Amino acid sequence: MHPLLRRTGGTAATLGCAVGLLLNAAGQAYAATAYGQHCGGPGGGPTWETRGALGAACTANFNASRPGTARIAIDIISSERGELPHMWSFDIHKCDGRLLPSDPPRTFTCDFGPGEHTVYVDRMAAETVHLKVDY
């Protein structure tokens, strides 16, 4: 094979590989999930209940190497707290809102940059919060 053709073929293959990687990366920046911790589930594991009148905040943390969009799914299970609103927040009020225990499960989207990120949902000790963050 002629050296020029061999070099051109190698260059084309390299460019094709690079374009393929860029096209795949341009869609969804991440394919990972963070689950809530301290969210009032039965003993141990990724969710557990804090004793006392106030529960620990339900939080999900992740560290991003580049910008993306987080899909935050929150479901609050009713308790004796009744219909008092729950506050949720992504990166200290960059993206936030309120939910009532009677609300159906909700999903929110929030854009983020590189670095560490936290989703926070307040709760009482007797409540359970299901928190899932896809990023």
pLDDT tens readout for residues 23-55? 344 334 467 999 999 888 654 444 444 444 456
120 pairs with which residues across the strands? 59, 89
CA distance 24 to 60: 27
Integer CA distances (angstroms), 72 to 22, 61, 98, 132, in order? 26, 12, 13, 6
129 sits in which H/E element: strand 128-134
CA distance 57 to 54: 9
Band (72; pLDDT cuts 50, 70, 90) = very high
Mean pLDDT, the chain, whole residue set: 75
Give the pTM.
0.69
- Sign of the four-CA dihedral 73, 70, 90, 53: positive
